[in-house]
Amino acid sequence: MEVIQKELIIVGGGPAGYAAAIRAARHGMDVALVEADKLGGACLNRGCIPTKALLESSRLFARVRSGAFGVKGDVQFFLDEVVGRKDQLVDKLNKGIGMLIQSNKVSYYNATAAFTGEKTLKLSTGETLQGQKILLALGAAPVVPRSIEGIELAKTSDDVLAHRFGDYGKVVVIGGGVIGVELATFFSEIGSQVTILEGLPRILSPFSPDVTKYIGLALRRGGVKVTAGANVKKLVQQEQGIGVVYTEKEKENTVSADLVIVCVGRAPRKIEGLELCGAEFDRGILTNADGQTKKTDIYAVGDCVRGSIQLAHYATARAVSVVDKLAGKPSHTDLTCVPSCVYTNPPVARVGLSEEEAQSAGREVETGKFNLGGNGKSLIAGEERGYVKVIFEKGTEQLLGVELVAAEAPEMIGGFTTLVAMKAKRGDILRSIYPHPSVSEGFFEAVEDSLKQAIHVIYK
């Protein structure tokens, strides 16, 4: 049996794996990419892109239905067509990645790989590959907590995005993390009665208490019932729908639903025969800061790595920087400066340190905040219930972090990430002129506010 030799084999064609393959090929490496499913991974097929496509439609529907923009009429929401549009654009992007892989001369195998030796992989399509180096980018899959009796009655985000559900008049979302609040936003915008049951004392707990407060209020205004500190006990089949039994402050309650969605995190994936390559797996593949496992030539990146930040753009950046190092090229990416966004209404975005994180890291800070109720463009967009907050280090005046709940927050955070990564000083920012009318003016005013100089703020 012929063994195909490669300089680098990448397993997993998600945002980490396919980006790594393209970069490696551009560095002149002889690279193979193996993907069991479709290129693009969870991000393109079951995550970022499909969710945002659905949210684009639900948002448009909710805006027209609100009558707040002088646009009225008896609009209807055709879920099948909305899902069809989502599928079309996923397909388009998927084909685009295929073309990039092909044009960069990456050897692509649409197959499941399993280790049969330290650096040998057997593919479900019959080939055997041997790599000088192997990079695992296996991704993660939704966690289904078996401790909850009857949990098989619930759907995961994968099911929802593939439209594997029936009635959705009453929706219960278990888990108030990023996926939970985004799906709650979608279903509430299309008219479902939504309840979020979050185990911790607050939703979106990795974000600041301000973010929790603003998004909690936005969800409630949209009719979502948010219950934090809820301990879900079991799901029971009822004559009509599903009963979700949970305790809150030791009191047992039951909420009925047509659709129960479980979004309590995503668990790193494994690969068959992993032990043969010598990498360790304990709630994820263990790697050092360079993405290297216990074995010299075996690397892992993205959501399959234990403790990794489970964000597509982080996975891509990390994968590319690992490949740069393998090729002996410098990598300039600051992997500590990672923006994160939540596509609620209004959306959330943050980068760098929050005020609370900076303080617990012992940094003395000066903050500025601008409430977007005084920002023209936010009022125009109907998303004035947000804010921009900036965190500077006292003394050095270095921008440590930015946090915003605002229309187009995910569009703006990229530029702010550059400022944080380049360690911009307050004076650098104040040299600029921001366009009017724009939501980004709110950022400028927040910077001015850190000096109590924002024009549109009344100081006593």
Cβ-based nearer residue to ligand NAD, 265 or 373 = 265
265 binds ligand NAD (CB under 6 A): yes
171 binds ligand NAD (CB under 6 A): no
State the minimum distance, in angstroms, from the CB of residue 246 to ligand NAD. Answer: 8
Cβ-based nearer residue to ligand NAD, 106 or 203 = 203
235 binds ligand NAD (CB under 6 A): no
Given candidates 199, 222, 278, 382, which one binds ligand NAD under the rule CB under 6 A?
A: 199
331 binds ligand NAD (CB under 6 A): no
Task: Specify the stretch interacting with ligand NAD by CB under 6 A; choose among 2-10, 56-64, 262-270, 321-329.
Answer: 262-270
Cβ-based nearer residue to ligand NAD, 104 or 205 = 205
Helix axes 178-189, 48-66, angle to 10 degrees: 40
310 binds ligand NAD (CB under 6 A): yes
403 binds ligand NAD (CB under 6 A): no
227 binds ligand NAD (CB under 6 A): no
144 binds ligand NAD (CB under 6 A): no
145 binds ligand NAD (CB under 6 A): yes
CA angle 82, 85, 86 (to 5 degrees): 90
> 27 catalytic, yes or no?
no
345 binds ligand NAD (CB under 6 A): no
Query: Can you name the residues that pair with 351 across neighbouring β-strands?
Result: 402
Torsional class of 89: left (φ above 0), alpha (ψ -120 to 50), beta (otherwise): alpha
Q: Please give the residue whose beta carbon sits closest to ligand NAD in the complex.
A: 177
437 binds ligand NAD (CB under 6 A): no
341 binds ligand NAD (CB under 6 A): yes
State the minimum distance, in angstroms, from the CB of residue 434 to ligand NAD. Answer: 26
Task: Specify the stretch interacting with ligand NAD by CB under 6 A; choose among 207-215, 270-278, 327-335, 341-349.
Answer: 341-349
263 binds ligand NAD (CB under 6 A): yes
Task: Specify the stretch interacting with ligand NAD by CB under 6 A; choose among 32-40, 258-266, 280-288, 372-380.
Answer: 258-266
Which residues are known catalytic residues?
436
- Chain residues binding ligand NAD by CB under 6 A are 145, 174-180, 182, 197-200, 205, 232, 263-266, 310-311, 340-343
